[in-house]
Amino acid sequence: MSTAPRPGEEGGHGVRGPHVPGSRVSESHVPESRVPAQRAAVEGGAGRSATPLVRSHPLLKSLLGAWALAACSPEETAAVEAHLTDCAPCADEAVRLRDAVALLHPEDSLDLDPGLRARVLTAALNRRPARIPVPEWAAPYEAEASRLDALLRDIGETEWRAPVRLGWFDGRSPVTREVTVADVIGHLTAVDTIVAGALGMADPLRGASPEERTEALWAAEQGDRTPASVRAAWRDQEQTLIRTVSFAGEAAAELPVDYGPFALPLRDAFLDRAFECWTHAGDIAEAVDYPYAPPSPAHLNGMIDLAARMLPGAIAARRRAGLAPPARGLVVAGAPGRALHLEIEGRGGGHWYIALDSPGATGTPEGEVAHVALDGVEFCRLAAGHVPPEEAAAGSLGDEEAVRDVLYATASLSRL
């Protein structure tokens, strides 16, 4: 849309300075300015047939808002200013509206420091302890959902239509799929129903895998939902989950959650949901070119720990599928065996010893046959299937097969 020449504009498209029409008001109270102002109006009106000459008091009064905003034609501006010298009520209102324009400000940056939420809530809870706290293991999902919700609130309608690239690792190679922001949120909503079902809420797709649930929801929605309703459906369910486990308390922590191909205790399922929420928020942020920070170190640590604990099972599953070489030896359950020392650097990092020979074995420093070091966020990108295992920026020492098994198994934790 082209912008017509405007009264009160002094060229340039930067931040507006004090309003010119406003400053003219005080001048126009001076009787001497009457004549030129009126003449300008007459000349302007005579020269242009598109804008009829405006003279009636109601019309001039109706123009005061537009005038104060410098949003009238030059002829109208001149006519209003001429009128202001004659009409005290309009002149009073003009000053008032001009002063109001000075109060208009561009909105401050919408982005609050993501760490502020935890600081504010912690300070409040120190002043008055919660009678119904959010279980510690549910806190990462609560925090990640809050961050994603803020992102969704900030992005505009057009950004909702941005293509988002989802990526994961299917065991052999990376897979990508292009969807919409609404599809991503639908996916999160669909997989959350697994947790909802475990907590006794209605779950018509009981037993279905995350993929099956997602495909079912996508097939049912066919893009006819508004961004607000898609966001609300996800957020309402998520808040209900947090609320339900708050009331259920620690007793619920070990409830089994059936993902179909595998199961997790509820406390881990919440970590899984936090991880997926962050991962897909990152996918959306990348698609709409917003910055998106990693989770808080404590929450990141929990997510890394969950992945590390799932690795022995993932290695075994790859072996059963013929995707990894067989184990080197049988280990009695609970006994120490060969281990890979996983060193995660950066905030939220730490040391994990991954049992290599059996999910039932215990990884210990004594069994270390290999050492892999990588950054926490990079590890999570690998576990999300966003980095192919052979490209993960990892430093390694020791048994190369063990290193390869662990990096591939990490990528294999990812799914749609």
Partner 1 sequence: MTNDAPPRWDRRMQQRLTHGEAAALGELYDRFASLVHGLAHRVLGDEAAADRVTREVFGHIWEHPEEFDPREGPLRSWIAGLAHRHAVSTLRRTEADEERPAAEIEEKVRAASAAARADYIVTSMPAPLRAALDLAYFRRLDYRQTAVRLGVTEDEARRRLRLGLQLLSTAHDGPRAVSPPGGGAALR
Residues lying near partner 1 in the complex (CB under 8 A): 1, 3-4, 6, 9, 13, 16, 62-66, 68-69, 71-73, 93, 96-97, 99-101, 103-108, 110, 112-113, 116-117, 119-121, 123-125, 127-134, 142, 146, 149-150, 228, 239, 242-243, 246
Inter-residue contact 184 to 148 (CB < 8 Å): no
In the complex, what is the shortest distance from the CB of residue 276 to partner 1, in angstroms, rounded to a whole number? 19
Inter-residue contact 296 to 377 (CB < 8 Å): no
From the CB of residue 314, how many other CB atoms can be counted at a distance below 10 Å?
A: 24
Based on CB atoms, which residue is closest to partner 1, 273 or 338? Answer: 273
In the complex, what is the shortest distance from the CB of residue 405 to partner 1, in angstroms, rounded to a whole number? 40
Strands 350-355 and 263-265 turn out to be unpaired
CA distances to 19, 38, 74, 86, 176 from 97, rounded to whole Å, are 11, 22, 19, 18, 54
Based on CB atoms, which residue is closest to partner 1, 134 or 205? Answer: 134
Q: Name the region of 218 (left: φ>0; alpha: ψ -120 to 50; beta: rest).
A: alpha
Based on CB atoms, which residue is closest to partner 1, 69 or 339? Answer: 69
In the complex, what is the shortest distance from the CB of residue 284 to partner 1, in angstroms, rounded to a whole number? 17
In the complex, what is the shortest distance from the CB of residue 30 to partner 1, in angstroms, rounded to a whole number? 24
Based on CB atoms, which residue is closest to partner 1, 271 or 387? Answer: 271
Give the pair of three-digit tokens for residue 180. 């919409």
Based on CB atoms, which residue is closest to partner 1, 98 or 338? Answer: 98
Residue 253, phi then psi, degrees to nearest 5: -55, -35
Please report the sign of the dihedral spanned by the C-alpha atoms of residue 307, residue 141, residue 390, residue 341.
negative
In the complex, what is the shortest distance from the CB of residue 246 to partner 1, in angstroms, rounded to a whole number? 5
Based on CB atoms, which residue is closest to partner 1, 76 or 357? Answer: 76
Based on CB atoms, which residue is closest to partner 1, 40 or 59? Answer: 59
In the complex, what is the shortest distance from the CB of residue 66 to partner 1, in angstroms, rounded to a whole number? 4
Q: What would you report as the CA-atom Rg of the chain, rounded to the nearest whole angstrom?
A: 31
From the CB of residue 187, how many other CB atoms can be counted at a distance below 10 Å?
A: 23
In the complex, what is the shortest distance from the CB of residue 140 to partner 1, in angstroms, rounded to a whole number? 13
Query: Which among 71, 86, 78, 70 is positioned nearest to 42, based on CA atoms?
Result: 78
Give the pair of three-digit tokens for residue 51. 């804008």
- 155: which residues sit within 8 A by CB, 6+ positions away? 181, 284, 288, 290
Based on CB atoms, which residue is closest to partner 1, 151 or 324? Answer: 151
In the complex, what is the shortest distance from the CB of residue 407 to partner 1, in angstroms, rounded to a whole number? 36
Give the pair of three-digit tokens for residue 187. 């996916």
